[in-house]
Amino acid sequence: MIINEPLQNFLDKLASNAPTPGGGSVAALTGSLGAGLVTMVTCLTTGKEKYKAVQPQIDELLKKAEKARSELQALIQKDIDVFGSLSLVYAMPKITEAEKAARTTKMQEVLKAACQVPFEIGEKALEVAKLAKTAAEIGNAAAVSDAGVAVLLANCCAQSAALNVKINVNSIKDAEYNKVTWTRMQAILAETEALQKTVIAITYQKMS
């Protein structure tokens, strides 16, 4: 898995002509970084007498942030894998009518899978944005800037995921699937954007 490789390898592959990792994997990585920052805030809050009253909420926040980070890290590789599946479909023969039909059917199937990965990334981005809000509200005020960065990364993750959803939706022929998927994605974008504004306002207020 690419997540187990040195960071330099990831960056070098990203900056090359290799098809993966690409935007979807970067979106998932960005979201996982945001989740990691939420965890950081919980770690800097735990055990502090000043925040003793909110320790149960902090413990729950830690569990949710680490779950989101783990899931987003897995989606980095999942995006790479689904692109590999798509490449195999592009290589399918398309000389006879039967071959063309089989290739088209398989292509639509794999395109949905390719669309589903960034869609899942977008859903996780929204989760991270919500967690960042909690971290900003009840976490150690000395680490509130980290909660602010977390929500910025979550929103960036959602926006990046949306671009990858849209480019796949444009090639999918299932109109109902496209409508449901893109409508939900737009709702995610609206909510993460609103959360970003709220959390950044809390962040600056606590730092002033």
CATH of the domain at 189: 1.20.120.680
User: Residue 79: inside a domain, yes or no?
Assistant: yes
Compute the distance between CA of residue 114 and CA of residue 91 in angstroms, rounded to an integer: 16
Compute the distance between CA of residue 77 and CA of residue 20 in angstroms, rounded to an integer: 10
User: Residue 140: inside a domain, yes or no?
Assistant: yes
> Is 90 a residue whose pLDDT tops 90?
no
Report how far apart, in Å, the C-alpha atoms of 173 and of each of 111, 179, 207 are. 10, 11, 50
The pLDDT assigned to 84 comes to 81
Total number of domains constituting the chain: 1
Q: What pLDDT band is residue 93 in, cutting at 50, 70 and 90?
A: confident
User: Residue 14: inside a domain, yes or no?
Assistant: no
Mean pLDDT confidence for 182-195: 98
User: Residue 81: inside a domain, yes or no?
Assistant: yes
The pLDDT assigned to 193 comes to 98
Q: Which domain holds residue 201?
A: 21-207
The pLDDT assigned to 205 comes to 97
Of 113, 105, 88, 126, give the one whose Cα is nearest residue 168.
113
